[in-house]
Structure 1
Amino acid sequence: MQDEQRALRVGLVLGDPNAARPDSARLVEILDDMDLVDLVCIVASGEEATSATSLMSSALALETAVTRQTARDVPIPGLHDRDILPADPGIVPDLDLILDDSGIPAVEELAGNAEHGIWRLSTVDPESGFHAAVTNAPVTPVRLWSFTSEEEGWRRIAETEFDTKFLASRNLLFQREKAVRFLTGQLARLALCEVPALEALPDEVPDDKAASVLQLPQYVGRVAAEAAVRSANTIRARMGGRPGRFCLRLAEGTALTFDPVSAVEFDAPAGSYWADPFLIAHQGAVHVFFEVFDYRSGRGHIAAGRLNAGRLHFVGDAIRTSYHLSYPFVFQHGDDIFMLPETSEGKRLELWRATDFPLGWTLHATAMEGVSASDSTLAKVGGDWWLFTNLCEDSFDDFCSELHLFRVDGPDLAEITPHPMNPVVVNSRTARGGGRVFQQDGRLFRPSQDNSHGTYGYGLNIMEIEALDMDRYQERLVRHITPREVPGTIGIHHIDVLDGQVIFDVRKR
């Protein structure tokens, strides 16, 4: 790592700092908190570039008005305490990088003022994500573009994907909020001398592919159908049905080889579902801990079971609280058995210790007070303990897009150090945890969820971790399982393995 002590001098170009988009205001707030960034705000004037026809723009505006999928403009944080510069090459000082959040073409004149030129997200376009929603794409691509004084035109330097929302107006807001952390992650990599984040790829225009007017009738019909399905599922749940329920399945093999189709299935009683199973051996028996979700209350709690001769025997409830619990990551450390369940609704991490295994537990430690974290997993790799978790800081309550990594002192969680490149993964297809981090044949793997196709828990990934330290994090996909390989399901999103037994969950319509 080089020059890690010097902050990047970053200029952020805004159209109107008194009436910024909420995602722009959030970007300013995050940049202010980044030790790696020294922020300068710049204001530009002019017309934004757009990719859509006037009819498509009118259709989006009408949908926004009818569905109220809009966000009120706000002043940027600390507006009156900032020196805001005009977008004049003669006034803007020498910078390392300029971020264009205005979409105004005249900003290109500032490229010579920054060593790394200008970066712009595709979500700056007012119709970004419209094409993905209109065509029912499984994901919406978000691209980061670069413009320098040495190159002709804009060049794509990084790209990610987020789940597509079925309403185009909502998809636009969602992509913009999610893109903020994608951008700040790329900034962290630049500050830590990863230049560029990806090989630059030439492209003609820095915007999303435009939707065709001819696709509008099909889109309207699909929106109506989706709204009807959601209403029907709400009624089904109230009448005792279990729309979108998860079931547990048991197979033999490893995470890389098991057959999800031939597995034995275990279903929950009426009015509930079972999900997020974890295995642990204790006194000669194999126990299973899993989420029990109650449709009536809309909350989950943790239950325990025992495996015997290929069957799951329900033992009883293990942990109940007044808030939702799931993802009961259970592990042994020394003579103690601990559990780190998801407690995002309680806005903190909670580590529980078994006092009368498997049903007796006491709260052992808490950490990250005030933070909503989901699907947290501890892993000891070499001599270091690592916490893998999914955080949510946006208005959509979406934990599926960002993987955050922390080095910790151990199960007590007394000392927590964030990875400098957090979030280390930003992508709806791979970020969210899907089970225990494990080693096999000298290789390190992380199960993760594929949250695409508008479905929570659509698919399961096995990611191989290729680099893990405080300087780098890198992983690659080695197995991907979706409903296409598992007939009769709409999702598969969690796995755990112990001594040749593989337990996982599937989702049904």
Structure 2
Amino acid sequence: MKTDLWHVGFLNRPVTDLMVPGALAKSAITWLPLPASFQFIADPFGIKTDDGLTIFVEYFDYRIKRGEIHYYSYDAAGALMTRGEALVTPFHLSYPYLIQDDGALYMLPEAHKSGVLTIYRCDHFPDRWTPIATLLDLPAIDATVVQHDGRWWMFYALPGPDGRAMRELHIAYADALMGPWRQHAGNPVRTGYESSRPGGNAFVHDGKLHLPMQDCVAHYGAAMNILRIDTLTPEHFAAEPVERLTAEGLMPGYTDGIHTLAGFGDTTLIDVKRIETSAKAHWIKLQHKLNRALGKR
């Protein structure tokens, strides 16, 4: 039985440095502590504070099979200070996308099983988040928001049959973060498994907006392609892959995938994957069924 196990690390380099072929493999990476067996952390997003660096991740235990958002706080010297739960709900959470606007910090986690896209405001950093608005009445997946050319833009995927979440890119736009959000005239603006599902913060490089995208041709999260966005209006969209990233040479044993690239300031976050093949996974599956029967989270 095959099981995807992800892990998270950070680099003290701006994301634009990684646009040079081979730069990621040559970078020094600090890896977060490994969770217990058949648990993983993925989808890292972070923020710098006066005390250092705080990273938010999806935490997933195959015995529970419902993602939670956890945090890891590091001091300025790169030492782990604290860790804990940031956001836990009755439904699965992942991709804790962070947004700063008008002096406030928000999180836009993926929660497509709730049926909507909800934005949370940070009321106590880093562990108290309050839902304040529904941005889309759609089960948006991996919603990635950026302010660009006087508008707010949101890139996201949608669930559906035949791997729809991995092969269609949708866009919405708004004049303000809280909306109202409108759908792009060309949705889905991009199709294909190689670069249609978002995978991290948008960033500007050589005067152009770039967007990390998952390459799911071989399997989910196998690699990343960076899209250079050449046209972005409410009616038109054009983009071209310009750089490809893989997990080769990054973390021993975790060479089967990479599906998040999140840069902010002089720090970049990544996650990498290994595909575990183990008979023990069958017992973990049985434990999951028992936990559900007992009503455990």
Length-normalised TM-score, structure 2: 0.83
Tell me what 1:323 maps to. 91
Q: Does 1:363 align with 2:134?
A: no
Alignment of 1:263-282 (within 5 A): 263-270=29-36, 271-282=38-49
Give 1:463 shift.
1.3
CA distance in 1, matches of 2:86, 2:248: 34
Given residue 500 of structure 1, which amino acid in structure 2 is its aligned partner? D
Of 471-480 and 254-263, the range deviating more from structure 2 = 254-263
CA distance in 1, matches of 2:66, 2:40: 11
Q: Does 1:310 align with 2:75?
A: no
Match of 2:105 among 315, 337, 345: 337
Alignment of 1:30-109 (within 5 A): none
Given residue 497 of structure 1, which amino acid in structure 2 is its aligned partner? G
Unmatched tracts of structure 1, length 5 or more: 1-231, 234-242
Tell me what 1:298 maps to. 65
Tell me what 1:476 maps to. 240
Match of 1:380 among 128, 143, 147: 147
Given residue 282 of structure 1, which amino acid in structure 2 is its aligned partner? T
Closer, same or farther: CA 467–311 of 1 in aligned 2, 3 Å: farther
CA distance in 1, matches of 2:81, 2:161: 40
CA distance in 2, matches of 1:481, 1:313: 30
Match of 2:194 among 422, 429, 433: 429
Closer, same or farther: CA 313–292 of 1 in aligned 2, 3 Å: farther
Tell me what 2:212 maps to. 447
In terms of fraction of residues, the more strand-rich structure is 2
Tell me what 1:249 maps to. 9
Residues 377-425 of structure 1 show CA distances to partners (whole Å, capped at 9, x for unaligned) of 1111021111111112x33464111110111232213x12111111111
Match of 2:122 among 354, 364, 368: 354
Task: Tell me, yes or no, if the aligned pair for 1:256 and 1:462 is still in contact at 8 Å.
Answer: no
Closer, same or farther: CA 389–476 of 1 in aligned 2, 3 Å: same
Task: Tell me, yes or no, if the aligned pair for 2:15 and 2:267 is still in contact at 8 Å.
Answer: no
In terms of fraction of residues, the more helix-rich structure is 1
The share of aligned pairs that are identical, in percent, is 31
Closer, same or farther: CA 462–311 of 1 in aligned 2, 3 Å: farther
Give 1:362 shift.
0.5
Match of 1:399 among 143, 154, 165: 165
Give 1:260 shift.
3.5
Task: Tell me, yes or no, if the aligned pair for 1:267 and 1:273 is still in contact at 8 Å.
Answer: no
Closer, same or farther: CA 357–469 of 1 in aligned 2, 3 Å: same
- Please report the RMSD computed on the Cα atoms of aligned residues, expressed in angstroms: 1.9
Match of 2:177 among 387, 391, 411: 411
Given residue 501 of structure 1, which amino acid in structure 2 is its aligned partner? T
Length-normalised TM-score, structure 1: 0.50
**3-state DSSP of counterpart to 1:423:** coil
Task: Tell me, yes or no, if the aligned pair for 2:43 and 2:95 is still in contact at 8 Å.
Answer: yes
Alignment of 1:135-154 (within 5 A): none
Unmatched tracts of structure 2, length 5 or more: 276-297
Closer, same or farther: CA 474–409 of 1 in aligned 2, 3 Å: same
**3-state DSSP of counterpart to 2:113:** helix
Tell me what 1:13 maps to. none
Give 1:249 shift.
1.5
Closer, same or farther: CA 501–424 of 1 in aligned 2, 3 Å: same
Given residue 227 of structure 2, which amino acid in structure 1 is its aligned partner? M
Aligned length: 265
**3-state DSSP of counterpart to 1:400:** helix
Q: Which has the higher contact order (CA 8 A, sep 6+)?
A: 2
